[in-house]
Amino acid sequence: MKEPPVFELIQHLDRAEKGYFNKFSKMLGKGDNYLILFNILSDMDRYDKEVVIKKLRKRKKNIANLSVSLHHLYHLILKSLRLFHEKNYYKIQINGILSEVEILLGKNLRKQAIKLLDKAEQLAISHQLLPTLLEIQKIQITQKVATVKTNLLGEIKQSYNTIEKTAKIFTEELQYRKLHHFAFTCYRINSQDADHNHSQTLRFIAEHPFMESTSISEDSSFYSRYYRNSTKSTEALIYANREAAHLYYKNILKIWEEHPAMIKAEPILYRNNLSNYLINAIFIKKIDNFDSIIKKLEQIPTRFLNDQIELFQSKIYLEQLYHLNNKDLDNAYVLISKHTYNIEKYASKMNFSRLVIIRYNFLITCFLLGKFQEALTWNNIILNHKNADPKKDIRLFCRIMELILHYELGHYDLMDSLFTSIWRKRKAESSFFHYTEMILSHFKKLIKIPSLIEKNRQYELFYQDLDQLRKDKPESIGIEELSIWVKAKKENKSIKDIYKEK
């Protein structure tokens, strides 16, 4: 049964929003039919029209047309949400003021309307909302024509000069926004298909006049400055130049610091920029302010449950990345017991790709510490998840990891079935790793060799093949961990010790 939009909306409301709707509905005097319908839907896990009708009858509520009532309830909830979140959303505030201006003008209360317009103008300026600012300035001119009695022509000329300046700044901003989205799209395509050719688009971006060092002026908007540096950082990442990207990320954070009002206006974008800076800095080992950046992330207000979950998953991922890149496996392992409960609690609401990466990092942490049973548990969680599309490369490597973990745990009786399963998967997935045949070949030999000396020779051959593979395909996920494991076996050392030596 198809869910009505209102049911989906209610499922995404948090406790505070639901409580506010109860008060809002009573304040409007809409009767209790809508409130009862709201509570019925709120208590349901899955929408069922017949159950809704049955529960309404039980409460002796007769709704002639359920579809119409659901439609009205939907818009009633949206109105309550606008009021509830008005203080946190500057766009809602400005749109509310402009609605009030229109009402006042309709009643010919121009002085009151002009006063509110000035307030809306200041909000639009402080939050760099140029399209809205243009609309406000056009209304202001109309009101000046109607009210100014002296030096009207001079006032109009000055107003149009202001509008033209705003329009010029906004036109520049649109160009930077376009270049940013072109670069970001190329980056996304490149991450999914490294062989895709987008050199023409990248050349267009690089040669665009707006990307020259002198293109930004004192009048340029926050977004123009932001999008220019964001485009430059994305270009650098496409060409695998993380050092250059680091400089542009630093510029971006400086721009945010110069515009504190924008941090409040765009908290999600600011949080993403802090995360991007940290991720890149960790990779190039230029991170001496990790704790202070994490603190800034934690101080960003979260408006919705989704925001809280996004912050939660970003923080875990950044901490994992930081500890693993610093070879601090003990602190990386602490994160597992610290966060596992909430990860599983919020798993259905988390970004699935990020969830897979977090679980994969837990798997790798346990593996490098030699905690193979725990590693197998995380490996199974990844493999058994019903959503198989995002992060397919990780899931495919987990099939190889499954083989290693059962080998380490001495489950040799499972090897044949695992060989068959991996081989079938390889045939079904044209994108499956090119080194699968080589890995299976070495494992089949290893489980049949009784002599320790002969096994060490086999590990040496295995390591040589992996070393060559690392040179040919360094981007292959899991290849580094696999090489560490084989080296540990051939040198009779712990995986942790080999990992720390690298």
Residue pair 123/98 in contact (Cβ under 8 Å)? The answer is no
Q: Which residues contact 241 (CB under 8 A, 6 or more apart)?
A: none
Cα-to-chain-centroid distance, residue 376: 28
Q: What is the pLDDT of residues 119-152, one digit of tens each?
A: 999 999 999 999 999 999 999 999 888 886 778 8
Higher pLDDT, 282 or 470: 282
Residue pair 71/110 in contact (Cβ under 8 Å)? The answer is no
Q: Which residues contact 279 (CB under 8 A, 6 or more apart)?
A: 318, 321
The band of 190, judged by pLDDT with boundaries at 50, 70 and 90, is confident
The pLDDT assigned to 468 comes to: 86
pTM of the predicted structure, to 2 decimals: 0.82
Q: How far apart are CA 333 and CA 362, in angstroms?
A: 7
Residue pair 38/8 in contact (Cβ under 8 Å)? The answer is no
Residue pair 261/301 in contact (Cβ under 8 Å)? The answer is no
Q: How far apart are CA 347 and CA 349, in angstroms?
A: 5
The pLDDT assigned to 430 comes to: 47
Average pLDDT (394-399) is: 85
DSSP letter for each residue of 445-470: HHTT---HHHHHHHHHHHHHHHHHHH
Average pLDDT (288-311) is: 88
For the chain, the helix, strand and coil percentages under 3-state DSSP, each to the nearest 5: 80, 0, 20
Nearest to 211 by CA among 186, 248, 164: 248
Average pLDDT (401-407) is: 92
Burial class (CB in 10 A: 0-12, 13-18, 19+), 358: buried
Q: Which residues contact 406 (CB under 8 A, 6 or more apart)?
A: 376, 414, 415, 418
DSSP three-state, residue 16: helix
Q: At what angle do helices 392-408 and 352-368 cross, to 10 degrees?
A: 20
Residue pair 458/449 in contact (Cβ under 8 Å)? The answer is yes
Q: Which two tokens stand for residue 86?
A: 């008005």
% of residues, the chain, pLDDT over 90: 57
Q: What is the pLDDT of residues 19-42, one digit of tens each?
A: 999 888 888 775 577 888 999 999
The pLDDT assigned to 420 comes to: 81
Nearest to 283 by CA among 219, 330, 236: 236
Q: Which two tokens stand for residue 499?
A: 């990992």
Residue pair 37/6 in contact (Cβ under 8 Å)? The answer is no
